[in-house]
């Protein structure tokens, strides 16, 4: 048997062991068989490994016989990691050194255990794995909530907590271990059917998962901390919640049909009691008994049965992925970008056009194609599916709807849509705000909905798709819609629009993105702590995207966020000012023009305005802002081209000397030595290898108006 097979066998063994159900001895048989096989391999070699294997084998016997306790489980995990920690198990057999004797099974080596448990790489691996499992728990909990009978999902939940339990025990994270152990007990009960999954249980599981996640995050900040990851009271609170379910597990089966009917006022308590008495004799289903008595209508029974099943139905899919160090990935993408530039420098070299052989040109062409492919591939590495983000949103929506006591059906589509990971990170919070606004203020209460002739259960839809090189994220609800009149009234109050003005519908809705326009104050009368939509728009614009709103009174509100596929590459237009080339992101540009001199007007002979499509737009001169000067003459005189830009809903014109064709550019940070460069957002490397600067339009407007 080769080295590879041996390490595979060890891994298989540890997997079987971890996956085994601690409450059923039979499930350990697979692991025990592998332990035996390992023992046979190593026994001939003697030494450290043989001792470890013999110890494991002995312990596994205990497990199969069902006499093992939790300390044995810990011992086995320790032994496994001892075996695994040596890259080559064969080395173990050759080392028959005296110090190895310390690691005998009976006295779990005093020196060895702390050494393993303080190993930071183990902690970091644990954090990684635990986070992954907790993510999985989150999505699986939503599945179970939608379908409490989904055994596969419950098993998967159990496995996740089980793994965290084993690992945390091994790392001596006692608090975390205590928590997940309780959760595991609960899930073990659920698997056996002793505990029925209902919303209360799901809530507890969510809180427990959140607490576990918090502890993991705390551990990440402070990897050498073993305890104190959570406050004692915090831990006790969660433990109490979990234990309250495991403790009362037998009594608290899933909510009884009768209870639901009484709760909904569909049947009187006495009816149910009578029916229950009768049921004892006839052994009929409680629903049928009630129907015979004509106490409850068939429709009501069906409704209650459906409720028992829980309405929310969201199918979740998690894609398999490979773990890669993020830093390495970024470096790879950077290097590919470098190669693309180097390649273009070679291809554009002057000597290429003179006397290069046909074969050479062919080879260069080949290089060019390969580089392009590599480039595209490299960029796609940054992309991740929206599913993870959507699951997070589903969780947020669920919690909010429960908090506000609103019936909600949260649906998402297009979770396979791939989005740049930076975009995902930055768009999550704005999306949460929007969903919160939707549920807080957009959706009416069940009674109001009923009165308006709508379904009581509100619908909130989130979807993502690609269109024309951009990513679209849409959020729609079927709530009350934006209150046009209130927005208008508020805008007049704030002096944003003159009284009596009749702006178009879109313009009114666009006002909610203005700072100081809390949606809460507009859409409902409740004093909301809702974050203003201006922050959302700002976030979106930082990603070089835009956000639109549409709404119909009584029918709902829809937001469309348009984002570039990746923040790493943008489309920009190169402009020239005094011989220097600058790039303006295409998304900020409304249009460019070479206006008649008569269209310019000066203010105090200092500022310049341009009448452009019936509105006055301030014009700034780049050379003026960047190089000093910038007289009126310079801004308007000669062959100046004005690029009209829009940022934060404000238009401004920028005077440039020349405008070049639009191109895709790779965005690079200006480096750490410049923390703040007003007017410059970032830079790019141009095809000649020189650095090109990308203008920050918002910053330029700020600069111009401040100075």
Partner 1 sequence: MAHNSEVKAKAGKYLTFRIAQEEYGLEILKVREIIGMMPITRVPKTPEFVRGVINLRGGVIPVVELRKKFGMETEADTGETCVIVVEILKKGEPIQVGILVDSVSEVIDIAAPDIESTPSFGVELDTQYILGMAKTKGAVKILLNIDRVLTGEEIESLKEGVK
Determine the interface stretch with partner 1 among 111-119, 375-383, 507-515, 665-673 (rule: CB under 8 A): 665-673
Of 626, 632, 643, 698, which lies in the binding site for partner 1, with binding defined by CB under 8 A? 626
The correct pick among 625, 654, 681, 697 for binding partner 1 (CB under 8 A) is 625
- As measured in angstroms, the least distance from the Cβ of 577 to partner 1 is 10
Least spacing, CB of residue 668 vs partner 1, in Å: 6
Minimum CB distance to partner 1 smaller for 123 or for 333: 333
Question: How near is the Cβ of 324 to partner 1 at its closest, in Å?
Answer: 20
CB-facing half-sphere around the CA of 628: CA atoms within 13 A:
0
274-298 in b/e burial notation, b at 16+ Cβ within 10 A?
Answer: ebeeebeeeeeebbebbbeeebbee
Contact between 681 and 696 under an 8 Å Cβ cutoff? The reply is: yes
The span from the CA of 93 to the CA of 90, in Å, is 5
Token reading at 642: 């004005």
323 forms part of the interface with partner 1 (CB under 8 A): no
Contacts of 113 (CB under 8 A, 6+ apart): 78
Residue from 116, 593, 680, 687 in contact with partner 1 (CB under 8 A): 680
Q: How far is the CB of 674 from partner 1 (least distance, A)?
A: 6
Find the binder of partner 1 among 23, 124, 335, 365 (CB under 8 A).
335
Q: Which contiguous run of DSSP H or E holds residue 459?
A: strand 458-467
Angle formed by the axes of helices 47-65 and 29-43, to 10°? 160
> Using the rule CB under 8 A, is 690 a contact of partner 1?
yes
Binding-residue total with partner 1 (CB under 8 A) = 30
Piece of 30-38, 162-170, 226-234, 662-670 that binds partner 1 (CB under 8 A): 662-670
Residue 350 engages partner 1 in binding (rule: CB under 8 A):
no
Query: For partner 1, which is the closer residue by CB, 507 or 688?
Result: 688
Nearer to partner 1, 339 or 593 (CB): 339
Position 349 contacts partner 1 (CB under 8 A): no
CB of 654 to partner 1, least distance (A): 13
Tokens 């003005």 correspond to what residue?
A: 501
Q: Which of 289, 693, 697, 698 touches partner 1 (CB under 8 A)?
A: 693
Determine the Cα–Cα distance for residues 685 and 680; give it in Å rounded to an integer: 14
Which range binds partner 1 by CB under 8 A, 335-343, 557-565, 592-600, 642-650?
A: 335-343
Q: Which residues contact 302 (CB under 8 A, 6 or more apart)?
A: none
**Which position among 2, 111, 149, 671 is part of the footprint of partner 1 (CB under 8 A)?**
671
SS3 content of the chain, % helix, strand, coil (to 5): 55, 15, 30
**The only residue of 244, 631, 677, 705 in contact with partner 1, by rule CB under 8 A:** 677
What is the SS3 assignment for 546?
strand
| Choices 22-30, 417-425, 601-609, 688-696 (CB under 8 A): range interacting with partner 1 | 688-696
CB closer to partner 1, 169 vs 624 = 624
592 burial level (CB within 10 Å; 0-12, 13-18, 19+): middle
Given 69, 264, 338, 591, the residue binding partner 1 (CB under 8 A)? 338
- Within residues 471-500, the interface with partner 1 by CB under 8 A covers none
- Applying CB under 8 A, which part among 160-168, 225-233, 386-394, 623-631 lies near partner 1? 623-631
Is 469 a binding residue for partner 1 by CB under 8 A? The answer is no
What residues does 664 pair with on adjacent strands?
571
CA 558 to chain centroid, in Å, comes to: 21
Phi then psi dihedrals of residue 574, to 5 deg: -85, 135
The yes or no reply on residue 685 touching partner 1 (CB under 8 A) is yes
Shortest reach from residue 685's CB to partner 1, in Å: 5
Distance in angstroms (rounded) separating the CA atoms of residues 601 and 406: 56
669 binds partner 1 (CB under 8 A): yes
Site for partner 1 in 213-242 (CB under 8 A): none
Other beta carbons within 10 angstroms of residue 359's beta carbon come to: 8
Interface stretch with partner 1, choices 23-31, 48-56, 186-194, 670-678 (CB under 8 A): 670-678
Residue closest to 275 by CA, chosen among 260, 296, 293, 255: 293
Using CB under 8 A as the binding rule, the residues of this chain from 544 to 583 that contact partner 1 are 580
Please give the DSSP secondary-structure letter assigned to residue 323.
Answer: -
Q: How far apart are the first and last CA of the chain?
A: 78
Q: Nearest distance from residue 679's CB to partner 1, in Å?
A: 6
- DSSP result, 348-407: T-GGGTTT--HHHHHHHHHHHHHHHHHHHHHHHHTEEETHHHHHHHHHHHHHHHHHTT--
Q: Is 337 an interacting residue with respect to partner 1 (CB under 8 A)?
A: yes
- Judged by DSSP in three states, 572 sits in strand
Interface with partner 1 by CB under 8 A: which residues?
A: 334-335, 337-338, 341, 580, 625-627, 668-680, 683, 685, 688-693
């Amino acid at each position: 048997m080769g080295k590879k097979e041996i390490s595979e066998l060890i891994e298989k063994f540890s997997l079987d062991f971890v996956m085994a159900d601690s409450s059923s001895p039979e499930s350990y048989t697979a692991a025990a068989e592998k332990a035996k096989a390992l023992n046979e391999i190593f026994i001939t070699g003697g030494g450290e490994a043989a001792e470890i294997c013999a110890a494991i084998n002995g312990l596994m016997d205990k497990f199969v016989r069902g006499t093992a306790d939790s300390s044995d489980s810990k011992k086995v995990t320790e032994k496994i990691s001892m075996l695994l920690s040596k890259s080559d198990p064969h080395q173990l057999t050759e080392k028959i050194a005296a110090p190895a004797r310390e690691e005998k099974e009976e006295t779990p080596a005093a020196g060895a255990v702390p050494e393993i448990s303080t190993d930071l790489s183990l902690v970091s691996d644990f954090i990684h794995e635990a986070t992954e499992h907790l993510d999985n728990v989150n999505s699986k909990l939503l599945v179970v909530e939608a379908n409490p009978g989904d055994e596969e999902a419950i098993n998967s939940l159990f496995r996740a907590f089980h793994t965290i339990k084993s690992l945390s025990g091994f790392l001596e994270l006692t608090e975390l271990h205590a928590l997940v152990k309780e959760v595991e007990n609960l899930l073990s009960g659920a698997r056996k059917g002793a505990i029925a999954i209902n919303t209360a249980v799901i809530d507890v599981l969510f809180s427990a998962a959140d607490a576990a996640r918090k502890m993991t995050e705390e551990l990440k900040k402070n990897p050498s901390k073993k305890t104190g990851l959570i406050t004692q009271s915090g831990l006790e609170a969660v433990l109490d919640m979990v234990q309250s379910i495991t403790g009362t597990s037998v009594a608290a089966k899933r909510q009884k049909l009768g209870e639901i009917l009484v709760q909904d006022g569909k049947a009187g308590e006495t009816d149910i009691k009578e029916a229950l008495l009768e049921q004892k004799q006839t052994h009929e289903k409680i629903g049928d008994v009630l129907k015979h008595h004509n106490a409850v209508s068939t429709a009501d029974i069906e409704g209650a049965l459906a409720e028992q099943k829980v309405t929310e139905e969201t199918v979740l899919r998690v894609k398999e992925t490979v773990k890669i160090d993020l830093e390495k990935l970024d470096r790879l993408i950077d290097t590919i970008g470098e190669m693309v530039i180097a390649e273009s420098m070679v291809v554009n070299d002057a000597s290429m056009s003179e006397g290069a052989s046909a074969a050479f040109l062919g080879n260069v062409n080949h290089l060019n194609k390969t580089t392009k492919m590599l480039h595209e591939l490299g960029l796609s590495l940054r992309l991740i599916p929206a599913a993870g983000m959507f699951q997070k949103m589903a969780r947020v929506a669920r919690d909010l709807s429960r908090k506000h006591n609103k019936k909600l059906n949260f649906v998402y589509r297009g979770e396979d849509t791939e989005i740049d990971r930076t975009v995902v990170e930055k768009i999550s919070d704005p999306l949460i705000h929007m969903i919160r606004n939707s549920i807080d203020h957009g959706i009416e209460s069940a009674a109001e909905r009923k009165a308006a002739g709508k379904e009581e259960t509100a619908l909130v839809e989130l979807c993502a798709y690609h269109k024309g090189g951009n990513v679209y994220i849409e959020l729609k609800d079927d709530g009350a819609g934006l209150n046009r009149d209130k927005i208008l009234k508020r805008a007049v109050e704030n002096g944003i629009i003159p009284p009596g003005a009749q702006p178009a519908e879109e313009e009114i809705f666009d006002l909610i993105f203005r700072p100081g326009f809390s949606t809460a104050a507009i859409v409902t009368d409740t004093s909301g702590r809702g974050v203003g939509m201006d922050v959302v728009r700002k976030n979106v614009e930082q990603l070089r995207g835009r956000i639109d709103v549409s709404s119909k009174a009584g029918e709902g509100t829809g937001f469309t966020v348009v984002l570039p596929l990746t923040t790493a590459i943008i489309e920009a237009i190169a402009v020239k000012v005094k011989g220097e080339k600058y790039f303006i992101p295409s998304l900020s540009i409304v249009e460019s023009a070479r206006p008649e001199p008569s269209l310019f007007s000066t203010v105090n002979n200092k500022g310049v305005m341009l009448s452009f499509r019936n509105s006055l737009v301030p014009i700034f001169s780049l050379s003026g802002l960047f190089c000093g000067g910038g007289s009126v003459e310079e801004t308007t005189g000669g062959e100046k081209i004005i690029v009209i830009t829009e940022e934060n809903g404000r238009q401004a014109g920028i005077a440039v000397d020349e405008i070049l064709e639009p191109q895709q550019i790779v965005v690079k940070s200006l480096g750490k030595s410049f923390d703040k460069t007003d007017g410059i957002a970032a830079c790019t490397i141009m095809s000649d290898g020189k650095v090109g600067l990308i203008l920050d339009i918002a910053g330029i407007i700020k600069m111009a108006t401040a100075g």
